[in-house]
A and B are shown apart, each in its own frame.
Chain A
Amino acid sequence: GDSVTQMEGPVTLSEEAFLTINCTYTATGYPSLFWYVQYPGEGLQLLLKATKADDKGSNKGFEATYRKETTSFHLEKGSVQVSDSAVYFCALSGPQGGSEKLVFGKGMKLTVNP
Chain B
Amino acid sequence: AAGVIQSPRHLIKEKRETATLKCYPIPRHDTVYWYQQGPGQDPQFLISFYEKMQSDKGSIPDRFSAQQFSDYHSELNMSSLELGDSALYFCASNAPTGGSYNEQFFGPGTRLTVL
Contacts and interface: CB of A to CB of B under 8 A. Distances in A.
B95 to A, nearest CB: 9
Interface string B97-115: 0111111111111000000
A42 B88 CA distance: 10
B18 interface: no
B38 to A, nearest CB: 11
B41 A43 contact: no
Interface stretch (A21-29, A66-74, A76-84, A104-112): A104-112
B31 interface: yes
B90 A44 contact: yes
B90 A43 contact: yes
Interface residues of B, number: 29
B106 A32 contact: no
Contacts, number: 63
B45 interface: yes
B62 interface: no
13 contacts: A43-B106, A43-B108, A43-B109, A44-B90, A44-B92, A89-B42, A93-B101, A96-B99, A99-B48, A102-B43, A102-B45, A104-B44, A106-B42
By Cβ-Cβ distance, the 10 closest A-B pairs, closest first, are A104-B42, A101-B45, A44-B106, A32-B101, A99-B31, A43-B106, A99-B96, A43-B108, A106-B42, A43-B109
